[in-house]
């Protein structure tokens, strides 16, 4: 059947979505003006808070020794010589410590931390976390397959995501995942039907949209009305009651996730309050819930003078909210676990000095790290070895990709010359996992450093890899 021609004109469409464009524009403008005015006062970060005597800050394994930046016990120039650039370099020690900060926080009390695989799904990274007992938050059949291959426990997997396909739901039912975070009435029906066909009951939490404004980049805010994510709060109670009657569904909890890199506590608190109120109402109506899932979004300090909320304190508050309702707290941090454990090593190819700018053109671009282009994200860029024979000057660090958005950092004070190595810091999260082959650029190698040993955990793609799936008729 031919699809019906849309009769909606541009004007009608605007009437249909009266606030869509304007509210998005306002959100973008608001974000940038808040960011510009944000105080860059140095204040305590949750991960540096002492809690029950435990220091939570992971000491970065990326430190200078004799003026050369190292990853644990290996000098980065040595890694570049052995594996070439661009190169993702991860520290097993920082990753482990970073995970354990979360795990240790609630030791002895029921809780579940599910690492959000989308932040970095490289198998060896997942394996390190699986061995530490991590749970996993996944959003696709591909992520499920990765976690299982890396040795993750299927019972500790939460399947999130707004558009789960039938085959993905079946794959997850077959694997026996611990929970499906369902985002719509239609998904609930589909899951019920598929579970019944397999003579299973699917463990479910309803992901609600708490309608809070997370103070973060508009592209990574998910918990406001107008976002595609979650079930409208006003409809969630009725849907939960329906879910509790479905024979293929075992309703076990409620969930939310309001965005990523949220640098204020209030949105977290407000969302948590709304979610807990919903859980309380459902409990009053006789539903035996097991857990409250507050999602991820916990911020990372990308800039040294950035002021961040006390995440440990916040997590304690969330935990207390769940405990007061006799529910298990679940969280799904991605960035905060893995960002500080990785850097992206790059080499300066050229310096280009124009009337207006000084460019350091490096061998990585938005294909390896898209965050600056996509979110105007700021990553510290360090010189691997400082130079005595050149003065530092302000320059834009840009990549070779044919897009004006292809930059890594603007206005950075660097003395680097062609051939020098730079390290783009805190790129363990949403770096390699968002890489692409645009401009026919092979994906780069990744190494995991453990003390004085470096293991290649993803080999550099070859030109044959690039074309391996294509067919010339």
Given 160, 316, 346, 427, the residue binding ligand LLP (CB under 6 A): 160
**Minimum distance of ligand LLP from residue 299's CB (angstroms):** 8
CB atoms under 10 Å from CB of 440, counted, come to 9
Given 46, 218, 248, 296, the residue binding ligand LLP (CB under 6 A): 296
Of the candidate spans 52-60, 291-299, 390-398, 435-443, the one that interacts with ligand LLP by CB under 6 A turns out to be 291-299
Decide whether 265 or 384 has the Cβ nearer to ligand LLP. Answer: 265
Interface map 313-342 toward ligand LLP (x if CB under 6 A) = -------------------xxxxx------
The DSSP code sequence of 274-338 is HHHHHHHHHHHTT----EEE---------STT-----HHHHHHHHHHHHHHTT-EEEE--SHHHH
**Minimum distance of ligand LLP from residue 452's CB (angstroms):** 30
- Indicate if the alpha-carbon torsion angle 32, 36, 39, 41 is positive or negative: positive
Q: Please provide the distance, in angstroms rounded to a whole number, between the alpha carbons at the two ends of the chain.
A: 30
Of the candidate spans 112-120, 346-354, 446-454, 465-473, the one that interacts with ligand LLP by CB under 6 A turns out to be 112-120
- Indicate if the alpha-carbon torsion angle 234, 237, 239, 240 is positive or negative: positive
On whether the CB atoms of residues 447 and 83 are closer than 8 A, the answer is: yes
Structure tokens at 60: 């970065």
**Minimum distance of ligand LLP from residue 298's CB (angstroms):** 6
Quick one: which H or E segment has residue 24? helix 20-37
* Whole-number Å distance between alpha carbons of 431 and 410: 18
Structure tokens at 149: 């291959």
On whether the CB atoms of residues 342 and 88 are closer than 8 A, the answer is: yes
Given 297, 342, 399, 409, the residue binding ligand LLP (CB under 6 A): 297
- Counting every residue, how long is the chain? 473
* 43 tagged catalytic: no
**Minimum distance of ligand LLP from residue 315's CB (angstroms):** 12
Structure tokens at 423: 């390290």
* Whole-number Å distance between alpha carbons of 41 and 14: 42
Given 102, 298, 302, 407, the residue binding ligand LLP (CB under 6 A): 298
**Minimum distance of ligand LLP from residue 377's CB (angstroms):** 6
Strands 358-362 and 342-353: antiparallel
CB atoms under 10 Å from CB of 362, counted, come to 29
Decide whether 220 or 454 has the Cβ nearer to ligand LLP. Answer: 220
Decide whether 141 or 297 has the Cβ nearer to ligand LLP. Answer: 297
- Residue 137, interface with ligand LLP (CB under 6 A)? yes
Diameter over CA atoms, the chain: 74
- Residue 295, interface with ligand LLP (CB under 6 A)? yes
- Residue 261, interface with ligand LLP (CB under 6 A)? yes
Decide whether 359 or 378 has the Cβ nearer to ligand LLP. Answer: 378
* Whole-number Å distance between alpha carbons of 78 and 70: 9
Structure tokens at 294: 């507050």
- Residue 141: closest CA among 175, 185, 187: 175
* Whole-number Å distance between alpha carbons of 126 and 153: 11
Decide whether 260 or 263 has the Cβ nearer to ligand LLP. Answer: 260
**Minimum distance of ligand LLP from residue 321's CB (angstroms):** 18
* Whole-number Å distance between alpha carbons of 98 and 222: 25
- Residue 260, interface with ligand LLP (CB under 6 A)? yes
- Residue 257, interface with ligand LLP (CB under 6 A)? yes
Decide whether 140 or 276 has the Cβ nearer to ligand LLP. Answer: 140
Which residue shows structure tokens 């990308």?
Answer: 302
Decide whether 70 or 274 has the Cβ nearer to ligand LLP. Answer: 274
- Residue 220, interface with ligand LLP (CB under 6 A)? yes
**Minimum distance of ligand LLP from residue 99's CB (angstroms):** 13
Q: Identify the active-site residue in 114, 179, 395, 402.
A: 402
**Minimum distance of ligand LLP from residue 346's CB (angstroms):** 18
Decide whether 74 or 140 has the Cβ nearer to ligand LLP. Answer: 140
- Binding to ligand LLP (CB under 6 A) within 419-438 occurs at 430
Decide whether 76 or 220 has the Cβ nearer to ligand LLP. Answer: 220
Interface map 365-404 toward ligand LLP (x if CB under 6 A) = ------x---x-----------------------------
- Indicate if the alpha-carbon torsion angle 424, 428, 432, 435 is positive or negative: negative
Residues serving a catalytic function are: 402
Residues that bind ligand LLP in the complex, under the rule CB under 6 A: 116, 118-119, 137, 160, 220, 257, 260-261, 295-298, 332-336, 371, 375, 430
């Amino acid at each position: 059947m031919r699809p019906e021609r849309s009769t909606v004109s541009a004007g009608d469409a605007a009437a249909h979505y009266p606030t869509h464009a304007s509210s998005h524009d306002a959100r973008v403008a608001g974000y940038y003006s808040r960011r510009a005015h944000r105080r860059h006062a140095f204040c305590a970060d949750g991960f540096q808070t002492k809690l029950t005597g435990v220091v939570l800050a992971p000491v970065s394994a990326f430190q200078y020794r004799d003026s050369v930046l190292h990853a644990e016990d290996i000098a980065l120039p040595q890694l570049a010589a052995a594996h070439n650039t661009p190169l993702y370099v991860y520290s097993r020690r920082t990753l482990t410590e970073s995970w354990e900060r979360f795990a240790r926080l609630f030791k002895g009390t029921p809780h579940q931390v599910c690492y959000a695989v989308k932040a970095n799904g490289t198998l060896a990274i997942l394996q390190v976390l699986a061995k530490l007992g991590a749970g996993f938050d996944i959003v696709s059949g591909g992520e499920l397959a990765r976690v299982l291959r890396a040795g993750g426990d299927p019972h500790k997997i939460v399947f999130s995501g707004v558009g789960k396909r039938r085959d993905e739901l079946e794959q997850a039912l077959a694997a026996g995942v611990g929970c499906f975070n369902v985002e719509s009435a239609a998904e609930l029906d589909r899951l019920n039907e598929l579970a019944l066909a397999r003579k299973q009951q699917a463990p479910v939490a309803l992901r609600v949209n708490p309608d809070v404004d997370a103070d973060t980049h508009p592209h990574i805010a998910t918990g406001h009305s107008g976002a595609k994510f979650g079930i409208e709060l006003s409809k969630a109670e009725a849907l939960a009651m329906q879910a509790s009657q479905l024979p293929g569904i075992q309703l076990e909890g409620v969930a939310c996730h309001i965005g990523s890199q949220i640098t204020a506590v209030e949105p977290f608190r407000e969302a948590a309050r709304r979610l807990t109120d919903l859980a309380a109402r459902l409990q009053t109506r006789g539903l035996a819930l097991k857990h409250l899932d507050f999602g991820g979004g916990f911020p990372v300090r990308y800039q040294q003078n950035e002021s961040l909320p006390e995440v440990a304190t916040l997590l304690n508050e969330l935990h207390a909210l769940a405990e007061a309702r006799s529910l298990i707290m679940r969280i799904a941090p991605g960035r905060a676990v893995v960002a500080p454990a990785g850097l992206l090593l790059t080499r300066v190819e050229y310096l280009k000095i124009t009337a207006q700018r000084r460019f350091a053109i490096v061998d990585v671009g938005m294909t390896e790290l898209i965050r600056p282009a996509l979110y105007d994200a700021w990553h510290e860029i360090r010189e691997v070895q400082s130079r005595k024979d050149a003065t530092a000057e302000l320059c834009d660090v840009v990549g070779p990709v044919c897009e004006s958005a292809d930059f890594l950092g603007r206005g950075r004070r660097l003395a680097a010359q062609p051939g020098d190595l730079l390290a783009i810091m805190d790129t363990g999260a949403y770096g390699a996992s968002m890489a692409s082959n645009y401009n026919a650029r092979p994906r780069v190698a990744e190494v995991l450093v453990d003390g004085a040993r470096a293991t290649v955990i993803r080999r550099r793609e070859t030109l044959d890899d690039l074309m391996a799936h294509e067919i010339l008729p």
